[in-house]
Amino acid sequence: MTQNKMPKHVAIIMDGNGRWAKKKGKIRTFGHKAGVESVRAAVRFARQNNIESLTLFAFSSENWNRPAEEVGVLMDLFNLVLNSEAKKLNKNDVRLKVIGDTSRFDQKLVDKINKAEEMTQHNSSLILNIAANYGGRWDIVNAAKQISEKVASGELDSAQIDEHKFNQFTSLADQPELDLLIRTGGEHRISNFLMWQCAYAELYFTDTLWPDFDEQAFQLAVNDFADRQRRFGMTGEQVETK
Ligand code: IPE
Ligand code: IPE
Ligand code: MG
């Protein structure tokens, strides 16, 4: 089989911080803080294994529904992590990209995001996409909106719109197709993450809570991926003789 065994693009729904903290008798936000170390480990693993893109779900468009205090802590944490990690990412040749509707964030945070993206824009060892105020449906609607504006202005002919064209207007355009989607924390759902990009991704669910997800746990997910036969609609025999 000629299939490449290493995923080029991995996305992770980092779930289970609150339950991890609760199990330890701590408040939920303690779990979010602990989860930052797992983010560092995941980035390290991705770089060491030549994964090209790593997309992490940090805050969903539905997470605004949480208590204001928890949302506040998550925003503060995002700020803090940008402060402490942006330079390190740059040194490690990682390109940072934030995907999602950042218009709802305060201007100071938006400025910080723009600065970090700009500083790291020419790095090429890994693209780290952080999904913040991200929703899969938002991504699709946002693409449709941009396309309709181009059609209305005459820049684009509607006859030219196909899947390839549409993809160019989504958040992860120009990056490798999503190969593997991991969800920690035991739930078996997508929670409005990468809906368009999930079309042919391999899905991996683990009960491990996000703060416990280390490089070994990431390796297990990658091993599981390597054992699968990706058929893309073909028969197993066709894939084997390819
Ligand atoms: C994921 O952990 C982090 C975010 C959604 C920001 P949770 O906070 O959802 O943790 P659980 O699912 O309540 O344990
Ligand atoms: C998904 O986790 C969002 C992130 C990990 C950022 P949630 O904990 O918000 O998902 P649901 O609400 O259980 O579906
Ligand atoms: Mg959760």
Local confidence band at 3 (pLDDT 50, 70, 90 cut-offs):
low
The rounded percent of the chain whose pLDDT value lies above 90 is 98
240 in contact with ligand 2, CB cutoff 6 A: no
Local confidence band at 2 (pLDDT 50, 70, 90 cut-offs):
very low
Q: Is the whole-model pTM more than 0.95?
A: yes
Cα–Cα distance measured from residue 33 to residue 3, given in angstroms and rounded to the nearest whole number? 38
Identify the pLDDT of residue 21: 98
Q: pLDDT tens digits, residue range 54-71? A: 999 999 999 999 999 999
| Residue 137, both tokens | 């449906």
**In contact, 15 and 187? CB cutoff 8 Å:** yes
76 is an active site residue: no
DSSP 143-212: HHHHHHHHHHTTSS-GGG--HHHHHTTSTTTTSPPP-EEEE-SS----TTSSTTGGGGPEEEE--S-GGG
Q: pLDDT tens digits, residue range 100-111? A: 999 999 999 999
Local confidence band at 4 (pLDDT 50, 70, 90 cut-offs):
low
Q: pLDDT tens digits, residue range 127-178? A: 999 999 999 999 999 999 999 999 999 999 999 999 999 999 999 999 999 9
The rounded percent of the chain whose pLDDT value lies above 70 is 98
**In contact, 24 and 201? CB cutoff 8 Å:** no
Please determine, for residue 225, whether its predicted confidence score (pLDDT) is greater than 90.
Answer: yes
59 in contact with ligand 2, CB cutoff 6 A: yes
63 is an active site residue: yes
Please determine, for residue 1, whether its predicted confidence score (pLDDT) is greater than 50.
Answer: no
Minimum-distance ligand 1 atom for the alpha carbon of 59 = 6
Cα three-residue angle 190-206-38, rounded to 5 degrees: 90
Minimal-distance CA residue to ligand 1 atom 12: 16
Mean pLDDT (the chain) is 97
Identify the pLDDT of residue 117: 98
**In contact, 172 and 53? CB cutoff 8 Å:** yes
Q: Mean pLDDT throughout 200-229?
A: 98
Q: Mean pLDDT throughout 185-192?
A: 98
CA dihedral 2, 182, 45, 114 (to 10 degrees): 110
Identify the pLDDT of residue 194: 98
Question: What's the 101 CA to ligand 3 centre distance in angstroms?
Answer: 20
Provide the sign of the torsion angle of the four alpha carbons 178, 180, 186, 188, taken in this order.
positive
Identify the pLDDT of residue 84: 95
Complete domains list, the chain, with CATH: 3-135+179-225 (3.40.1180.10)
Identify the pLDDT of residue 242: 82
Question: What's the 166 CA to ligand 3 centre distance in angstroms?
Answer: 31
The residue among 51, 9, 12 whose CA lies nearest residue 182 is 12
Identify the pLDDT of residue 152: 98
Please determine, for residue 221, whether its predicted confidence score (pLDDT) is greater than 60.
Answer: yes
